Amino acid sequence: MSVNLQTPIDYLKGVGPNRADLLRSELGIHTYQDLINLFPNRYIDRTKYYKINQLQRNNAEVQVIGQITSFREVAQKRGKRLVAEFRDDTGLMELVWFRGQKWIRESLKTGQPYVIFGKTNWFNGKFSMPHPEIELLSEHEKNLRSAMQAIYPSTEKLSNKGITNRVVTKIMQQLFLETKGRYAETLSDTIRGELKLLSKSDALFNVHFPKSPELLSRAQFRLKFEELFYIQLQLILKNLIHKSKIKGFTFEKVGDYFNTFFKDYLPFDLTNAQKRVLKEIRADLGSNAQMNRLLQGDVGSGKTIVGFMSMLMGLDNGFQCCLMAPTEILSVQHYNGLLEWCNKLNISISLLTGSTKTSDRRIIHENLENGTLQILIGTHALLEDKVKFKNLGLAIIDEQHRFGVKQRSKLWHKNELPPNVLVMTATPIPRTLAMSVYGDLDISIIDELPAGRKPIKTVHRYDNNRLKVFRFMKDEIAKGRQIYVVYPLIQESEKMDYKDLMDGYESISREFPTPDYQISIVHGKMKAEDKDYEMQRFAEGKTNIMVATTVIEVGVNVPNASVMIIESAERFGLSQLHQLRGRVGRGAEQSYCILMTGHKLSNDSKTRLETMVRSSDGFEIAEVDLKLRGPGDIMGTQQSGVLNLRIADIVKDKDILERARYHAKSVLKLDPSLALPEHKMILNTYRQMSKYRNIWNYIS
Mean pLDDT, residues 54-66: 87
SS3 483: strand
Give the CATH number of domain 457-615; options: 3.90.650.10, 3.40.190.10, 3.30.365.10, 3.40.50.300.
3.40.50.300
The strand pair at 420-425 and 292-297 is best described as parallel
Q: Could you give the CA distance from residue 328 to residue 313 in angstroms, rounded to a whole number?
A: 26
Confidence at residue 145, expressed as pLDDT on a 0 to 100 scale? 60
Task: Choose between 45 and 467: higher pLDDT.
Answer: 467
**Among the listed residues 292, 376, 370, 287, the one whose alpha carbon sits nearest the alpha carbon of residue 331:** 376
Mean pLDDT, residues 123-150: 83
| CATH (residue range 1-35+151-182) | 1.10.150
| CATH (residue range 256-446) | 3.40.50.300
Q: Which of 432-436, 446-450, 496-500, 660-664 has the highest mean pLDDT?
A: 660-664
Tell whether the model's pLDDT for residue 640 goes beyond 70. Answer: no
Residue 137 CB-half CA count within 13 A: 10
pLDDT confidence bin for 527, thresholds 50/70/90: confident
pLDDT 10s digits, 445-460: 898 877 777 889 999 9
Specify burial of residue 20 (Cβ count, 10 A radius: 0-12, 13-18, 19+). middle
Task: Choose between 319 and 415: higher pLDDT.
Answer: 319
pLDDT confidence bin for 626, thresholds 50/70/90: confident
Q: What global pTM score does this model have?
A: 0.71
Domain coordinates in residue numbering, the chain? 1-35+151-182, 47-144, 201-244+648-696, 256-446, 457-615
pLDDT 10s digits, 507-517: 999 999 989 99
Among 76-90, 100-114, 489-503, 562-576, which stretch is predicted with the lowest mean pLDDT?
489-503
Listed in sequence order, the DSSP H helices in 403-542 are 405-412, 431-437, 466-478, 494-511, 528-539
pLDDT 10s digits, 233-281: 988 988 888 888 888 888 989 999 999 999 999 988 899 999 999 999 9
Mean pLDDT, residues 654-659: 90
Tell whether the model's pLDDT for residue 664 goes beyond 70. Answer: yes
Task: Choose between 378 and 124: higher pLDDT.
Answer: 378
pLDDT confidence bin for 635, thresholds 50/70/90: low
Percent of the chain with pLDDT over 70: 91
| CATH (residue range 47-144) | 2.40.50.140
Tell whether the model's pLDDT for residue 123 goes beyond 90. Answer: no
Q: Could you check whether 256-446 and 457-615 share the same CATH topology?
A: yes
Task: Choose between 642 and 400: higher pLDDT.
Answer: 400
Q: Could you give the CA distance from residue 545 to residue 537 in angstroms, rounded to a whole number?
A: 10
**How many residues appear in the chain?**
700
Work out the mean pLDDT of the chain and round it to a whole number. 87
Confidence at residue 530, expressed as pLDDT on a 0 to 100 scale? 86
Tell whether the model's pLDDT for residue 141 goes beyond 60. Answer: yes
Confidence at residue 406, expressed as pLDDT on a 0 to 100 scale? 64
Q: Could you give the CA distance from residue 619 to residue 447 in angstroms, rounded to a whole number?
A: 9
Tell whether the model's pLDDT for residue 535 goes beyond 90. Answer: no
Confidence at residue 695, expressed as pLDDT on a 0 to 100 scale? 41
SS3 488: coil
Confidence at residue 692, expressed as pLDDT on a 0 to 100 scale? 56
Among 236-240, 348-352, 472-476, 667-671, which stretch is predicted with the lowest mean pLDDT?
236-240
